[in-house]
Structure 1
Amino acid sequence: MKLQFTDRAIEKLESEQKGYFKLNYDIEDCGCVVNGVTQLVLDSEVGDYDLELETNFRPVRVQKQYAVFFDEDMKVDFLPKYHCFMLKSDNEILNPRMRYINRIS
């Protein structure tokens, strides 16, 4: 899997010097695993995120069991108007307003 960050997304995230980026597939209170929501997380520990995505910025990890919910080639963009990120691919918009969570600061 590949993940490309746009220039706007890199500009927003480049000040984050420490930690590990993760694409977290949150299923808590979603009722079913297929109703999960993707979040971009900066964490101090790798945890059980066992797949590392190829990126043009910094490594991003994903939990292997949720890889099926992602596309092979994805892009992260930052939307200044909404102060959030977007996760998309050529096939679909995976999360139009993806939340960014910094668990370090």
Structure 2
Amino acid sequence: MIILIDPYTEERLAKSLAGRPGFFKLFYDTENCGCNGVLAIEIIEQPLETDIKITVKTFTFLVDKQQESLFDKVLKLEADRAYPSFKVTSDSALYSTNVRIKDVRDIANT
């Protein structure tokens, strides 16, 4: 899998890490959802054994092996300039126009 980002998106991703190490996990969140899931990105401290690593510039994205088939081979992640969210697309699909990044690095330690 390949994830394409532009310079503005790269800047926003770096800002969301706040100078701390972390991984961006791309997944469909089905918790408390009566649907097939909502596309989400979380910043986590460590990958799980079932995660696939995708290197994008200086960032590492993770996708669970079981969810990899839900995504096209090449994705484009684009930061919204007017709102604190991201758009995820491919040449053949619009995955979401309102993906927020949730930092859960400290949650696991509390």
Identify the TM-score tier after normalising by the shorter chain. 0.7 to 0.9
Q: Unaligned regions of 5+ residues in structure 2, if any?
A: none
| CA pair 71-57 structure 1, distance change in 2 beyond 3 A | farther
How high is the TM-score relative to the length of structure 2?
0.81
Aligned partner of 1:103 in structure 2 is: 104
> How much has 1:82 moved relative to structure 2?
2.1
Measure the CA separation in 2 of the matches of 1:18 and 1:98: 21
How high is the TM-score relative to the length of structure 1?
0.85
Q: Unaligned regions of 5+ residues in structure 1, if any?
A: none
Residues 18-97 of structure 1 correspond to what in structure 2 (within 5 A)?
18-32=21-35, 35-97=36-98
CA contact (8 A) 2:9 2:79 kept: yes
AA of the residue aligned to 1:3: I
Q: Deviations over 1:58-86 (max 9, x none)?
A: 12110111112111100111002122111
CA contact (8 A) 1:4 1:57 kept: no
Q: Secondary structure at the match of 2:34?
A: coil
Percentage identity across aligned positions? 27
Measure the CA separation in 2 of the matches of 1:49 and 1:21: 15
Equivalenced residue count is: 103
Measure the CA separation in 1 of the matches of 2:38 and 2:5: 19
> How much has 1:57 moved relative to structure 2?
4.0
